[in-house]
Amino acid sequence: MKQYLKYYINYNQDNWIKYLSITQFVYNISIHETIKQILFFINYKFYSTIYKIPTIELDNLYTTIKTKYLKFLYDKFKNKLLFIKNQMVKYYNIKRMKKPSFEKKIKIYLLYKNITIKQPNNKLNFKKFKPFIII
């Protein structure tokens, strides 16, 4: 939740309480990548209805404006959450890239960071040894 809230709160971080409930709501009704399900459904065994058609008209102007504002916030947070999820997946996949396959008779470099060398300073050393052929 903290990760989602940091995109919406102001610089002084004194308005986070205003966004907490809607952020939690959006988080709970979004489909998660790992389990491919909605958390609300996992917890309560049914899907929540987000937009219901009101059976009585809203006569109060304040409630009408508040309802529109909450719908706007919901759409905004849902889009932001989707963006954050995509960014998380992107950077996770970069770290988990496939390792290179080493085949015979291919030249590879050996990095110095994997070998202990007794020199006083490593700043002036080469980063890689010469290319070696895999046998």
Tokens of 63: 């409630």
Q: Give bridge partners of residue 109 from the DSSP assignment.
A: 131
pTM surpassing 0.75? no
Averaged pLDDT of the chain: 77
% of the chain at pLDDT higher than 90: 3
Distance CA(4)–CA(94), nearest Å, equals 21
Determine the longest span between alpha carbons in the chain, in angstroms: 82
Whether 83 shows a pLDDT value over 90: the answer reads yes
Taking residues 58-86, report their average pLDDT.
85
Residue 69: HSE in the Cβ half-sphere, 13 Å Cα cutoff: 8
pLDDT tier at 126, thresholds 50, 70, 90 = low
Q: Which of 29-43, 49-63, 109-123 has the highest mean pLDDT?
A: 29-43
Is 8:23 a contact under the CB 8 Å cutoff? yes
Taking residues 7-13, report their average pLDDT.
73
Taking residues 7-26, report their average pLDDT.
77
Q: What is the pLDDT of residue 36?
A: 81
The CA-based angle 102-91-4, given to 5 degrees, is 160
Q: Which of 44-53, 64-73, 78-87 has the highest mean pLDDT?
A: 78-87
